[in-house]
Amino acid sequence: MPHSTRIVLMVLAGLSLLAALWTGLARIGWDLPLPNADFVSLHGPLMVIGFLGTLIGLERAAAAESFWVYAIPVFSALSILALLCGATQETVALLALIAALLFTVFFAGLYRRQPSEPFVVMTLSAAALSVANMVWVAETPVPQVVPWWVGFLVLMIAGERLELTRVRQPPLSARMQFRCSVAILLLGLIVSVFAFFAGVRVAGAGLLALACWLLRYDLAWQSLRLSGMPRFMASCLIAGYIWLAAGGLLWLLFSGSFVAGALYDAMLHAIFLGFVFSMIFAHGPIILPVITGVKMAFLKSFYLHATLLHAALVLRVYGDLGFVTAAQKWGGALNALAIILFLGNNIRAVKVANAARPAAPPAPSR
């Protein structure tokens, strides 16, 4: 697919991100203008399907050999365009479901060509997204869809990290711990369909177990001893795993509040911001050049948006757990600022990389 088309999809993903940030700030109490009173309820779909679904789909399509894989980010982007244009939840969820099913077919195909455990985990991740969007098609309340969306993102990232750890050839006991962690998470998701709060608690145990596994066996600890980009990526990964553990613990302790309110905010954003956006910050300088074809330089200012994200999230979770509204609101605002700084730093990194390119030699005169 031409780079121009990829950039259009990236722009749509970026618009979904900005809309998600806007609705997120409105949800935590900031007085912002909205098209209608129901617009704040779009925060989750805008972030998970519009931004993350399109971004992950683009990443996979850019690395794949088959053109049809681009249908994944296209359907993700179409679902969010439909959402912003006022389409029914059923229509939006159906478009998102098509993208998720294509995701599942894609990873199942990868496993068929190259059987390996990471591709099994990624296929399960895509299947979790498919279930989430099937449940959403049935107009189920968003909080009951969220655990499946979390399962999709956590399993996708865990599968990718597992693929990298094969370099170290972890012992059988470590591989069994990973499988048990994934099994507990999946069991919790399945139980949540029949006994929601009990399922959330079990899934929390799985998230906590996966976080402990990643903290123990991931290669990030080795990269932390390096400098430049490898150290930055490693620091983001480790911070993300700590937030995943915190999120799992919150799910275990407060599963009965997984509906709305301050505790629900903490349970979600420890994972979506602390874990998922840490992964995005870590891999953004690698993924974005693959998708767009532009070069990016490593900047020390990357630490600014990463540090702000985690410091603001600590403030936000403190506000959630202590029911301190001001801390929750300002923590959320600073989280949004960290993401805006991330976008700005990436644009600056592209400019720096292009400025560092040697000038093309002049054309020979005739």
Q: Can you tell me the distance from the alpha carbon of 239 to that of 271, in angstroms, rounded to the nearest whole number?
A: 11
Cβ neighbors of 35 (< 8 A, separation 6 or more) are none
What is the C-alpha to C-alpha distance for residues 125 and 130, in angstroms, rounded to an integer? 9
Cβ distance 269 to 317 under 8 Å? yes
Going residue by residue through the chain, which has 366 residues, state the pLDDT in tens, using 9 for 90 and above: 656 677 888 888 989 999 999 999 999 989 898 887 778 888 888 999 989 999 999 888 887 767 888 899 999 999 988 888 888 888 888 999 999 999 999 999 988 988 889 999 999 999 999 999 998 888 788 899 999 999 999 999 999 888 877 667 778 888 899 999 999 999 999 999 999 999 999 999 999 999 999 999 988 888 888 888 999 999 999 999 999 999 999 999 999 999 989 999 999 999 999 999 999 999 888 888 877 778 888 899 999 999 999 999 999 999 999 999 999 999 999 999 999 999 999 989 988 887 766 544 554 443
Distances (CA, A) of 19 to 45, 48, 50, 262: 10, 12, 10, 21
All residues at 6 or more sequence positions from 182 whose CB lies less than 8 Å from its CB, including other chains: 121, 124, 155, 158, 206, 210
Tell me how far apart the alpha carbons of residues 343 and 221 are, in angstroms, rounded to a whole number: 26
Query: Where does residue 250 rank: exposed (0-12), middle (13-18), buried (19+ CB within 10 A)?
Result: buried
